[in-house]
Amino acid sequence: MDNSLLEGGTVLRITRWGEPVMHQPTAPITEFDDDLRQLIRDMFATMYAADGVGLAATQVGVSKAVFIYDCPDENDVRQRGVFCNPTVTLPEGRDRNLEGAEEGCLSLPGGFQSLHRPDRATCTGQDETGAEIEVVGTGLLARCLQHETDHLNGMVFGDRLAGRGRKLLYRQHESLAHRYPDDWPVTPKTTSAVPQPEAEPKA
């Protein structure tokens, strides 16, 4: 990834669950141009302002198949990059190992629930120039690659939870929603005496 994409971005409002763009499949990236590069810059600026580890274009209101990430793998090695038009392949049979962990989403701030996902994921697609790329994710990175690709397919992680877990997730979010202004993270979240649950970083 071109490191210049980490600079020059504008912090944008993060889209919330329930807004139509979050629940519809995205359009493929066909033009790898300056407009795409500026979108990626803005996404990095927004993700860092929100203390996230991944962000899909739908989370800034853009229905295009691109996501970014800055996330550690199972060895705590920081991985950073851009995926356009991603496809995730998951292990099958004996190679498939499900790992349960608390998962959250920047588009439903304050809510966390345990979700089982495969602990290894292979993501293929294109970088910001259109070059073919492949990343094998482990640990939190595997979860991040799956979570962000879900976003681009119109799915939020709450869709993968059973009814009770989904209700608890929304209840957690509602109890802390007052901390997050409507244009967050353009306007930072407010301080509060209400503790947040311990959980993995959000994407």
Q: Give the residue carrying structure tokens 């939870």.
A: 161
DSSP bridge pairs for 64: 27
Alpha-carbon gap, residue 62 to 64, rounded angstroms = 6
Determine whether 92 is an active site residue: no
Nearest to 63 by CA among 172, 161, 151: 151
CA distances to 27, 29, 89, 106, 135 from 124, rounded to whole Å, are 17, 14, 8, 24, 7
Sequence-ordered list of residues with C-beta below 8 angstroms from that of 49, at least 6 positions apart, any chain: 11, 185, 186, 188
Q: What is the 3-state secondary structure (H, E, C) of 154-200?
A: CCCHHHHCCHHHHHHHHHHHHHHHHHCCCCCCCCCCCCCCCCCCCCC
Considering 148, 174, 198, 200, which one is annotated as catalytic?
A: 148
The DSSP symbol for 26 reads P
Q: Which residues does the annotation mark as catalytic?
A: 148
